[in-house]
Structure 1
Amino acid sequence: MSSRGSERFSSGRPVEARDRDSEGRARNARPRDGLGRPLPYGADGVPRQPEGVVRTPEETVAEAQRLLDEGKPFHAHEVFEDAWKSGPEEERELWRGLAQLAVGLTHAARGNVTGGARLLRRGAGAVEGWASGTRRSRPYGIRLVEVAAWARDLAEDVERGGPVDAAVRAPRLRA
């Protein structure tokens, strides 16, 4: 599926080849931990979320919630990203905002205070903006107002320096 190794350019110096998928697209094949951090090649990692999976919105929410509950917000972000890329144009902002919230939780759990708080607030604003623009505060059962409040509260906690356990602090997307 992917290849690694040294290639030589005309300068004669070796350059590490990029991991590629079967169609030649660049893909990082390094294993990752539960928060999406790359591990050394050959290390045991968390199974990756397959990319480009088209799910129903209900399946997207259920899979993302499962991953969030397991403390894998990076992987939940990938599920939301698939919905963002494959869903209808009018819902892209919703899924993009939810992906930002998952990435914000990822950064917060990794100890990135600035990035975590910023992405949590950005995602909260995106889902609230989508909800007010569509007048839908509970699409697919997602409690957008409550999720946005969760994100803002977590952003404040992160800035106060509290440690973040991604599984413990995972949002409840549905009631």
Structure 2
Amino acid sequence: MASTSSGRQADGRDRDSEGRARNARPRDGLGRPLPYGADGVARQPEGVVRGPRETVAEAQELLDAGRPFHAHEVFEDAWKSGPDGERGLWRGLAQLAVGLTHAGRGNVTGGARLLRRGAGALEEWISQTGQARPHGMDLTGLTDWALRLAQSVEDTAAGIDATAWAPRLRG
């Protein structure tokens, strides 16, 4: 099937060069799809293998810029490519970033739920490993931040400013 210059197939579906489904629509900083042709933010490349320090630094830059959806992609890469013993750590951090994304989009229930799930994953990781500061991150502080934000989102029943609520990974 012929494809357009945007990666869209003649039938309207987005596909990559190998024919796999991909959504080529531009996205905003919270990962929401924008209309074709709109100016979006640069997408995070998927499947990038980074070291822990690079992962934390890149994710922090994205969080500070109000792009938690994109920070989640960075954490997801670490979760999928990192050592088995750290998968729970990176998965928990990805859940926090997705929770912040949903809270920023105004999804009160989903945002609070994911923030609490991510906090629980970090608490479990600390309990299993005895490490509260892996790669210089303050997991106890991140857990507290996530639980405070989840409560705040539920109390106000409104979306939040993801940039204003960006956590400090290295406390």
| Paired residue total | 166
The TM-score, its normalising length taken from structure 1, stands at: 0.91
| 1:10-159 equivalences in 2 (<5 Å) | 16=12, 18-159=13-154
Deviations 1:124-155 (A, max 9, x none): 00011011101111000010011000000000
Q: In structure 1, how many angstroms separate the alpha carbons of the residues matched to 2:167 and 2:62?
A: 11
- Computed over aligned residues only, the root mean square deviation of the Cα atoms, in angstroms, reads 1.2
Q: In structure 2, how many angstroms separate the alpha carbons of the residues matched to 1:118 and 1:159?
A: 10
Shift in Å, 1:163: 4.2
Q: In structure 2, how many angstroms separate the alpha carbons of the residues matched to 1:23 and 1:90?
A: 33
Unaligned 5+ segments in structure 1 are 8-15
| 1:157-168 equivalences in 2 (<5 Å) | 157-161=152-156, 162-168=158-164
Q: In structure 2, how many angstroms separate the alpha carbons of the residues matched to 1:21 and 1:43?
A: 20
Corresponding residue SS for 1:169: coil
Corresponding residue SS for 1:46: coil
Shift in Å, 1:6: 3.7
Asked whether the 8 Å contact 2:92–2:117 carries over to 1, the reply is yes
Shift in Å, 1:4: 1.5
- Give the aligned partner of residue 7 of structure 2: 3
Indicate which of 147, 154, 171 corresponds to 2:167.
171
The TM-score, its normalising length taken from structure 2, stands at: 0.93
Asked whether the 8 Å contact 1:2–1:21 carries over to 2, the reply is no
The letter of the residue matching 2:39 is: D
Shift in Å, 1:160: 0.9
**Structure 1 consecutive aligned stretches of length 4 or more whose deviation exceeds 2 Å:** none
Asked whether the 8 Å contact 1:57–1:140 carries over to 2, the reply is yes
Unaligned 5+ segments in structure 2 are none
> 1:167–1:78: structure 2 CA closer, same or farther, 3 Å change rule?
same
